[in-house]
Amino acid sequence: MIVDRCKECGLCINVCPQKVLERGNEFNIYGYRYVSPKYIEKCVGCRLCEYICPDFAIYVEVDGL
């Protein structure tokens, strides 16, 4: 996550098939409660959140690729 680019639209939470992401309780410098990958161990690396993020805030790095 690049937290200062997040605008809290929630599209990434909506599209994630594994429900990895969750809206956090902390604020970034623009006052948005940014999304955090709370259940990162469930992630399968499908990159749907990276594709759907309109703010270039999320990217997925998969080990071993």
Partner 1 sequence: MDIIHPLDRYLRTDRLPHIWCPGCGIGIVISAMLRAIDRHISEGHFTQDDVATVSGIGCTARATLYLNFDSAHVIHGRAIPFAIGLKVIKPNLKVIVIGGDGDIAAIGGNHLLHSARRNMDITVIMVNNMVYGMTGGQVAPTTPMKVYTTTTPYGNLEYPLNLIKLVSSLNTNYVARASVTHPHLIERYIYNALSRDGFSFIEVISICPEVFGRHIGFRNPVELFNKLKSMIKFKAKPSIDESDIVWGKEIVLGEYVNEYKSGFIKLLYGS
Question: In the complex, which residues of this chain contact partner 1 (CB under 8 A)?
Answer: 2, 4-5, 7-11, 13-14, 30, 32, 51-57, 59
Nearest to 5 by CA among 47, 39, 54, 43: 54
Work out the end-to-end distance of the chain between its first and last CA atoms, rounded to an integer number of angstroms: 19
Single-letter amino acid code for the residue at 44: V
39 or 51, CB closer to partner 1?
51
2 or 44, CB closer to partner 1?
2
The nearest distance, CB 11 to partner 1, in angstroms, is 6
